[in-house]
Amino acid sequence: MRPTAQVLRPAARVLLALAVVFLGWAGWSLWQAYRSPLGDLGKDRDTVLRVGSAQVAALNSMDWTRPDDGLKRWQDASTGPLRDQLQREAAADRQKIVQGRTAAAASVDAAAVTSLDDRSGVARLVAAVRITLTPSGGGAPTVQRKRYEAGLARTPAGWRLQSLTVIPVSAR
């Protein structure tokens, strides 16, 4: 054997052993991260973000020609004090919706989970919402933009809104 080959073979073996050790460590670390409660917290955060955003949009959307369907969606998206309030005000809300003769279609442009307590099952979310209002008389649609802070609670049926508060826009 040439002297270069005598040096390269042991060096290649050492590099191969280091690569195997690194791959083993990386695989173990990935497995641990997957099993970690922090991984579950990330999944819960993603669920709160997705579900909360959809529910905020639902509570800002209404078809005046089908108010009962819209009021049911409001009930389905809520729990606790918010649901109680929506139930108490359902008849008055229905009357206002029909008299207003305007359809509202909301979408969440951006949202973020600001807090999540997995143990107690509560979370907070902020959302920027675009609401397109279309009057029944054929007038031009108008767009409103609002910001909300939503409180969510985990229920047996999943995450639901328990509060929804408009965040005022500062006049600077």
Is 171 part of any domain?
Answer: no
Write out the residue range of the structural domain in which residue 9 sits: 1-35
Number of domains in the chain: 2
DSSP state of 138: S
140: helix, coil or strand? Answer: coil
Cα dihedral across residues 97, 51, 165, 106: positive or negative: negative
110: helix, coil or strand? Answer: strand
Question: What is residue 107's predicted lDDT score, i.e. its pLDDT?
Answer: 97
Q: Do 97 and 159 fall into the same domain?
A: yes
Is 95 part of any domain?
Answer: yes
Q: Do 20 and 102 fall into the same domain?
A: no
pLDDT digits (tens, 9 = 90+) for 118-172: 889 999 999 999 999 999 887 899 999 999 999 999 999 999 999 999 998 775 5
Question: What is residue 42's predicted lDDT score, i.e. its pLDDT?
Answer: 78
Q: Do 78 and 16 fall into the same domain?
A: no
Predicted confidence band at 108 (pLDDT cuts at 50, 70, 90)? very high
Question: What is residue 43's predicted lDDT score, i.e. its pLDDT?
Answer: 87
**Report field, pTM of the whole predicted structure over 0.85:** no
- The strand ranges marked E within 7-166 are 102-117, 122-135, 142-155, 158-166
Question: What is residue 34's predicted lDDT score, i.e. its pLDDT?
Answer: 61
CB 78 within 8 A of CB 159: no
Helix axes 67-76, 37-58, angle to 10 degrees: 160
pLDDT digits (tens, 9 = 90+) for 11-44: 778 777 877 887 787 787 677 656 655 556 678 8
